[in-house]
Structures are given as structure tokens and as C-alpha cells.
A and B are shown apart, each in its own frame.
Chain A
Amino acid sequence: MTSFAIEISDLQKSFGEQIVLDGINLNIQTGSVFALLGPNGAGKTTLINILSTLVKPDKGIARIAGNNVETDVEAVKQSISLTGQSAAVDEVLTADENLRMMGRLSGLSVAASRKRATELLNYFDLTNAAHKRVKTFSGGMRRRLDLALSLVVSRSILFLDEPTTGLDTRSRQALWDIILKLAASGVTIFLTTQYLEEADQLADDIAVIADGRVVAQGTAEELKAQISGEMIELRDENDRIIQSFPTDGTVQDLRRILDEHVENVTNCTHVSIRRPSMDDVFLELTKKKQEVSSK
């Protein structure tokens, strides 16, 4: 038994002339939360679609729980659950009917489906809306139901394609709490996101992808360490940044920067030191990639 839930080696995919995945290599630990971070069009959804057997790769191998996604389709489907980018819920049915339908389709008996639906409605805080048609739901409720539908029977690997896109802060936080609770229960979670904060908050391991390639991989801390250290920011009395300089964070370097620059910068009254945010990492990494590809 391998310790990797998902193994991806040299995965390639093109749609016509357009190269979407250009040799992806990733190994994802069983029981971890993995975030695939990238801008629109980076190939995130295509990768998820290949891993969930909806799309065939042109080249390379992907294994889910040891099963090849191309040749062991049924075995792969038995171990995964997919929550796609658009909330895949039946708008005409009620939340309860959606859950019971999914229970029956997953091989549960009528009674077991009903019981499971009640549990999930409660867990996802949808009990009050259980018998309302999904058409009337807010974005956050829809997303919660969508995730609940993916959990009707527990699969060992959960794919979440941009789970919080389009949600307000409160709904996003609620969904994050649920994802962390699921992760704590031992499910392997593979999520894609455009939000650095989300990857930072949820994931044990992050891969940044741009133009179909993994441009960086590691923990949030490791990624932040990849780009040059801290910044010193000179601010005016209203706390607006006037100018900023990279620093190694030593007393000597701070003194040097202040000596050299404060005289020349008018209105400088305040100083702050900032560690790079995930945004800095992200912009840095995707910028590098674009420079390489434009050469």
C-alpha cells in the first residue's frame, strides 16, 4: 500500500492547438489537504477532470489510491467524490430531495438515504431550508449543499474545484471550517483555488501552477521563503507607503537603509517591516513563468 493518495507523473493534455497541461508531476499524501493554486486558465479544472476520470490525458499517468485513471475507471470512481466548479445541485428539487437522490444513486437503501440526508442537513446547517427548493438558495447555501452531496457516501478522496469562488466572507469561513473538519477526519482533500489566503489557511501542501506547469511546490512557509526575505516600508503620517526596500532583517541593514533613504524621502514619519504575503509569492512565481515563456 502506497502512502500517496494521488500520484501524477508527466501528465499532458492539449485541446486542439492549446496546451493546457504541460507535464505535471505531483504526489499527494494520503490524509493531507493539497491546494492547487493558479490563475484562471492555468489548467486547474482540466487536472481535476482528468483525476476524476471525466477527461482523458494525452500522455502521462495518474493514479488514484493506486488505480490508474485511464484503465481502472470504475475503481477510481469508487474512491473519489467530485465537487465541481459550478454548484452541481438540482435546482428544481429541495435540499432534502437532492441528498436522498444522491444516497439512492450511491447504493444506499431508502431508509439509509433518508437518515443520511437528515445528518448532512444538520451538519451543513441546512435543516431549516431542507424542504425548500434549491432555486431559492443563496450562493453559500448552494455551495454547502453541493459539498454535502459529495459526502453522501464517504469516499477516501475529495476533489473540490474552487469551492469558495463567488462566496462572501462569512460563507467562505463557514466552508473552510467544514473542509478543515473533514480533513481532520482523515479524508484526502485536493482543492483548487485562485485565492492565496485559502491555500494558506487550508492546505498542508501547495503547488502553484501557471500555464500548465507546476512552478513551485511546498508548504505555505516554504513558498514564502522562496522569494527574497522581508521588506522595509517607509510610510507617511497617514500610514501610506512612500517607498519600500528589500532587507535581510538585520539591525545593520535596517540602520543602513534608514541612513541612506530617510533623508531623501520627504514626509517619512513611520517605518514598518513586512514578511512576504502569499500574494507576493504568487505574483513573483507567475511573473517568472511569464518572463520565461515570452523569451
Chain B
Amino acid sequence: MNLSTVNKTASARVTSSVFIGRGLRHSLRNAEALIMAIALPIMLMLMFTYIFGGAIDPSGNYVNYVVPGIILLCAGFGSSSTAADVADDMTNGIIERFQSMPIKSIHVITGHVVASLARNLLATGIVFGVAFLVGFRSDANFLEWLGAIGIISLFILAFTWLFAAIGLFASSPAAAGSYGFVLLFLPYISSAFVPTETMPTWIQGVAENQPMTPVIEAIRGLLNGQLDSNYVWWALGWCLVILAVSYLWCKWMFQRKTGRR
């Protein structure tokens, strides 16, 4: 075996593409998380369409109302598994190996983030497919679809970075995983399933001023042709702020966790 000393360093481009490949493999091989991220929103959609839908909107149009909410619930919940992926890497010793190599090891996180974006866009596509099967219809044109998918992607990216930071912050992978429940819960206090006007006044204040509502209204507007551009600006604003804050938090936490003590 050749044991001569070689001094080579991987470029940043190679390093990040290797870690993205790794993240994608992890996503594909974590069958439970993948199935959960797809099955849960589908079940919710069937439940809201066929069980609650008739009571909420007897005209039978409820499916067109609820799809954006389900999509966001799906994307948010799917992003949250990034926390466990990151926490796993930080606690099982592999990060020390990467740290002792002449590479920028924060690309480990980037790899998980890109994999989460790919995974959740795939899940979003599947949820849209099922939505069409149960009667969802949209007369949005190509640009409106592009806008809706753009906002969904930005939302996934923002929440993935947030959960990556939570993964760095959490003490164990199990603890990191448990934070995902917030994303299962937050859409209920928004316009995802029922209009906020139907809620008690004090909750309306919360529901209308949390990030889910403008993001959902922007997507809904783009898909049903009744767009209020204010929601789009609010949605973009919220997502960009969450993205920026989470990214900085993530960098800071990574530095703290792996920095030289």
C-alpha cells in the first residue's frame, strides 16, 4: 500500500458538493422520516377535506382553501428533521474528524440544508399531486405557479436553517427532533385551516401577525387568482428575516460548538 505523504486540500466547491451528496443520501436512507414527512400531510389533507371540510365549508370548495396550509405544514414539519440530522453529526464524533481536516467543516450543515430543500420540494410535489386527486383546482398561470413555488422554497430554506441552528443548540438528537412539534402546531393558529376572522379577537392578533398567515395567504392568492400583493411582501419579509437570523445563529452556534476551546 502506498503510504507516501500527500498534501492536498479539497476546494470549497468540492467540499460543499460532497456534503450535499452526503445529505441527500442521508435523506433517502432515512425512510421513516421521509415517509412521515409525506404521509402526515396527505393524511391531514384527506382528513380536512373529507371529515371536517363539509362542516367548515358546506359548498365543497374547502379543498381549494386548505391546500396552501397543508403544503406549509408539510414543508415546515419536513424541515424540522434537519435539527436531528445536525445534532446527530455534532454528537457522534464525526464532526471531530472533519474538524481535524484542512476543510471548512460548516459545509456539513450546508449539505443537510440543501438536502432538506430537495426532500421537501419533492414532498410538496407529492402533496400537490394528491391535492389534485381529491379535487384541488387552480387557474394560476405559469408565473403565478413559479411565484408560489418560489415562496414555498424560501419558506423551506428559512425554516431549515432555523432547525439546523436548533440542532446545534440541542443537547441530543432526540431533543433536537422534539422541537419539530412547533411547526405542526403553528399553522393551526393562522389562516391555514380557517379564516382568522372566525377566531376570538385576542387570537386573531396572534394569527394575523405570525409568519404563517402572510406566507399562506400569498400562496393561496397566487393559486386562486385573488392575490393581495401586501401578503407577498410580508411573506418575503418574514422568510428573509427568519433566514438571515437563523443563518447567523447557525454560524455562531457552529463556531461555539466546534471552535477551539
A binding-site residues for B, Cβ under 8 Å: 15, 52-56, 74, 77-82, 84-93, 97, 101, 104-108, 119-120, 123, 133, 149, 151, 153-156, 182, 185-187
Contacts and interface: CB of A to CB of B under 8 A. Distances in A.
A98 to B, nearest CB: 10
Contacts of B6: 153-154
28 contacts: A15-B261, A52-B100, A54-B100, A56-B260, A56-B261, A74-B102, A77-B102, A81-B100, A86-B92, A88-B97, A90-B94, A92-B29, A93-B25, A101-B21, A105-B10, A105-B98, A105-B103, A107-B9, A133-B29, A149-B97, A151-B3, A153-B6, A154-B3, A154-B4, A154-B6, A156-B5, A185-B3, A186-B3
Nearest to A153: B6
A53 B100 contact: yes
Given A82-B100, A92-B26, A106-B9, 5 more contacts: A55-B260, A55-B261, A74-B102, A105-B14, A149-B97
A104 B21 CA distance: 11
A104 to B, nearest CB: 5
Given A88-B94, A119-B1, A154-B4, A106 B10 contact: yes
Contacts of A80: 100
Given A156-B5, A185-B3, A101 B100 contact: no
A110 to B, nearest CB: 10
Given A52-B100, A77-B100, A105 B93 contact: no
Interface string B83-115: 000000000111011111111000000000000
Nearest to B92: A86
Contacts of B10: 104-107
A90 B22 contact: yes
Interface of A is mostly: loop
Contact of B101 (A15, A55, A106, A123): A106
Contacts of A156: 5
Contacts of A91: 92
A165 to B, nearest CB: 13
B235 to A, nearest CB: 35
A154 B14 contact: no
A43 B223 CA distance: 62
Contacts of A104: 10, 14, 18
Contacts of B103: 105
Nearest to B91: A86
B198 interface: no
B153 interface: no
Interface string B1-39: 111111111100011001001100110011000000000
Q: Which 3 A-B pairs have the closest CB atoms?
A: A107-B8, A86-B93, A88-B97
Contacts of B98: 105
A77 B104 CA distance: 12
A89 B94 CA distance: 6
B98 to A, nearest CB: 8
Contacts of B99: 54
